[in-house]
With several copies, the nearest count.
Chain A
């Protein structure tokens, strides 16, 4: 894809754009996941209350550590569940954006 740079060089420094695009998708996915984890753990451990000062107190710090661990656990569990439901679920329209709701070519 030309927006990622030149295309015609076929030597050792050639750029594999499919590989690059996959890396960008992976980066976006991890960033989105991280941002949601930050927001969720803020809501569970810190947020909402009027802050007495700018520091995390002991209880908040402990809560954040457990929260990150649990969030990662949940991500694993959900991933396994989605995998066990597999391609069937996707094909039948479980994934928004797929399936008959959006017409087909």
Chain B
């Protein structure tokens, strides 16, 4: 996105809006990871506590999601840069 035609007052507003949205996006990503990793890792409901296997699964699952999300972001940024330069 190109905000170069925004004046300084508009850029200041936009920065504030974007900061708020980043906070909301972060919270949404958090909720998403919880939901996905719970679904993937937890299938035994005879005990309340996470087993050590489930615990490791949640840690790996979270780490993998973050790395996945970073990689998609990087490829998407490259794609957008290519589009913009054409």
Contacts and interface: CB of A to CB of B under 8 A. Distances in A.
Contacts, number: 223
Interface string A25-54: 111111111111111111111111111111
B79 A66 contact: no
A95 B29 contact: yes
Interface residues of A, number: 82
Interface of A: 4-5, 9, 12-16, 19-20, 23-56, 60-75, 77-79, 81-82, 85, 89-90, 92-105
9 contacts: A33-B34, A44-B42, A46-B68, A54-B60, A61-B71, A63-B45, A67-B45, A78-B34, A105-B14
